[in-house]
Amino acid sequence: MKGVIFNLLENFICETWGDEKYEEILSLCPLKTKKPFVGPGTYPDSDLMTIANKTAEILGVSLDDALKSFGRYAFPRLAQRYPNFLENIHTARDFLLTVDSVIHVEVKKLYPNAETPKFSYQDLSETHLVMTYTSKRNLFSLVEGFIEGVSDFFDTPIAYQRKDAEPDNNTCVFDLHFASKSE
Ligand code: HEM
């Protein structure tokens, strides 16, 4: 996983619970990586999961809740960092439809060894989209958090249902209903 995701996780923990809490969590993690994480670097997925699991344990929440909160935090920051990816996109639905064919394609141009997940879509109507995530990483709750972050960013409520497949199928289906922008 790219360093940019590790850096966002560090920022999430530091901003929410303080720098000391992050240092405490890190000191309890047996990581393969011994040097600081830098944005363009690539690090073992297992290190990210070790930090996420330890964070959940120390804070007394489930791993799923920790990943979801992290995704919700991370999306607006990624959007701010790569503003050109969102140019001329005005709705949450239109944006989500670009993640597979535009956003993560651009990510791979920036970071050729990035391993982004696969999304496929059933575009059922202006307010109804079914989005299927496939990745051997099975980060279903991170996707859920990203979707909530997209909802916040575009100020558009999204009612969703999530259907997880067995982990070895590596797939999760999100049935999304978009409301009009909040007043
Ligand atoms: C401006 C928008 C976005 C940017 C710049 C971005 C960038 C990235 C980057 C750099 C990675 C790391 C890949 C790696 O280390 O191999 C990643 C992974 C990921 N992205 Fe995105 N992303 C964006 C939007 C989204 C959205 C909206 C979703 C979901 C709805 C999403 C879902 C994921 C997931 C779940 C992963 C983890 C990898 C996996 O599950 O296999 N991303 N993204």
- Whichever domain contains 139, its CATH number is 3.90.1520.10
- Considering its fold, how many domains does the chain have in total? 2
Ligand 1: atom nearest CA of 116 is 13
117 lines ligand 1 (CB under 6 A): yes
Does one domain contain both 36 and 98? no
For residues 122 and 124, give the distance between their C-alpha atoms in angstroms, rounded to a whole number.
Answer: 6
Within-domain flag for 167: yes
Residue 85 CA, closest ligand 1 atom number: 1
Whether 164 and 92 map to the same domain: the answer is yes
Is residue 149 in some structural domain?
Answer: yes
Pocket test for ligand 1, best of 104, 142, 164 (most atoms within 8 A of CB): 104
Give yes or no: residues 109 and 50 share one domain. Answer: no
- Of the candidates 75, 85, 130, 129, the residue with the CA atom closest to the CA atom of residue 107: 85
Claim to verify: residue 99 and residue 42 sit in the same structural domain:
no
Q: For residue 80, is it within any domain?
A: no
- 68, part of any domain: no
The answer to whether residue 74 is domain-embedded is: no
Q: Is the CB of 4 under 6 A from ligand 1?
A: yes
Q: Tell me, yes or no, whether 114 lies in a domain.
A: yes
Same structural domain, 53 and 103: no
Q: Are the C-beta atoms of 173 and 132 separated by less than 8 Å?
A: yes
How far, in Å, is the centroid of ligand 1 from the Cα of 79? 11
Residue range 16-64, pLDDT digits in tens: 999 999 999 999 999 999 999 999 999 999 999 999 999 999 999 999 9
Spatial contact of 73 and 12, defined as CB atoms under 8 Å apart: yes
pLDDT in tens, 83-98: 999 999 999 999 999 9
Q: Is residue 73 in some structural domain?
A: no
Report the C-alpha gap between 86 and 49 in whole angstroms: 29
Q: What is the pLDDT of residue 166?
A: 85
- The answer, yes or no, to whether any atom of ligand 1 lies below 6 A from the CB of 114, is yes
Q: Are residues 54 and 132 in the same domain?
A: no
Looking at residue 168, its pLDDT comes to 83
pLDDT of residue 167: 80
Is pLDDT above 70 for 182?
no
Instruction: Quote the domain boundaries for residue 27.
Output: 3-61
Cβ within 8 Å of residue 80, ≥6 positions away: none
The residue nearest atom 18 of ligand 1, judged by CA position, is 116
pTM across the whole model: 0.96
Asked if 104 and 157 sit in the same domain, the reply is: yes
pLDDT-based confidence at 158, cuts 50/70/90? very high
Whether 81 maps to a domain, the answer reads no
Residue bearing the CA closest to ligand 1, atom 5: 78
